Amino acid sequence: MKIKVMIVDDQVLLAEGIRSVLASSEELEVLTVAHDGREALAAMETRRPDVVLLDIRMPNMNGVVATGEIKKRYPDVKILVLTTFDDSDYILSALNNGACGYLLKDISAPMLIESVKNAYAGDTILPAKIAKKVSDAAKLVTSDRELRLRRSFGFSDREVEIAVMLYEGFNNRQIASACGLSDGTARNYISGIYLKLGADSRASAIATMKEVLNPQ
């Protein structure tokens, strides 16, 4: 059975070029092309893709908002951002809204096809350049915040980095990708953080950190 893909891009020529690339794979089927987030949501009412490949800057509803809306209505659909913009705010917003990956349009045709297949399989798709930006953005926390976490819970430098990402809403795979860790190693760090926080879940860990970072 082929992986069904929807392309969402307001630049018609680029969208058709992406369609041609994906159509060259026998494992992929392009269901339709939409030109903004609203059009994509409307199309999904009748034709449900497995993977949505969408741009960030679009009229009517941009890619970040569209990602959140699609994941809210169709949580099983995988969303890959494909754009020319590598701004860390866009990257973090897209990932936090539920995107499973963030690709730049200078990607090769074979890599694009492989990324779609990997996204469908459940992988997080963050090329090295993007993963570094995610990691750098996660480190742009105030020294006061880092100091509070270290003093309050005895975190190591790596634990502080991961704790902040947990606090900001990153999931385990995103943390692993951004920090260059295996999924298992990331989970081990997170378990250690929970232990130091005296927490038994992500929600309680965040709540405990919030008491220190945002005291009322």
> CA Rg, the chain, in Å?
19
Asked if residue 80 and residue 8 are part of one domain, the reply reads: yes
Structure tokens at 2: 């082929």
Sign of dihedral through CA atoms 46, 47, 53, 59?
negative
Q: How far is CA 112 from the centre of its chain?
A: 16
pLDDT at position 141 over 60: no
pLDDT tens readout for residues 99-114: 999 999 999 999 999 9
Cβ-count burial of 133 within 10 angstroms (0-12 exposed, 13-18 middle, 19+ buried)? buried
- Point out the least confidently predicted range of 49-53, 123-127, 137-141, 154-158: 137-141
Amino acid letter, 15? A
Asked if residue 34 and residue 98 are part of one domain, the reply reads: yes
The more confident residue out of 95 and 193 is 193
pLDDT at 38: 94
Asked if residue 89 and residue 23 are part of one domain, the reply reads: yes
First to last CA, the chain: 54
pLDDT at position 134 over 80: no
Is residue 14 in some structural domain?
yes
* Residues facing residue 123 across a β-bridge: none
Sheet of strand 78-83, all strands in order from the earlier edge strand to the far edge: 28-34, 3-8, 51-54, 78-83, 101-104
Residue 178: CATH number of its domain: 1.10.10.10
pLDDT at position 139 over 70: no
pLDDT at 140: 60
pLDDT at 177: 85
pLDDT at 133: 77
> What is the residue range of 26's domain?
3-125
> What whole-number distance in Å separates Cα of residue 56 and Cα of residue 88?
12
pLDDT at 164: 87
Asked if residue 27 and residue 67 are part of one domain, the reply reads: yes
Residue 45: CATH number of its domain: 3.40.50.2300
pLDDT tens readout for residues 147-190: 888 889 999 989 998 998 898 888 888 898 888 899 999 999 99
Q: Where a domain ends, among 91, 125, 159?
A: 125
pLDDT at position 137 over 60: yes
Asked if residue 65 and residue 153 are part of one domain, the reply reads: no
* Residues facing residue 28 across a β-bridge: 3
pLDDT tens readout for residues 36-83: 999 999 999 999 999 999 999 999 899 999 999 999 999 999 999 999
pLDDT tens readout for residues 6-26: 999 999 999 999 999 999 999
Asked if residue 151 and residue 112 are part of one domain, the reply reads: no
pLDDT at 138: 64
> What whole-number distance in Å separates Cα of residue 35 and Cα of residue 182?
36
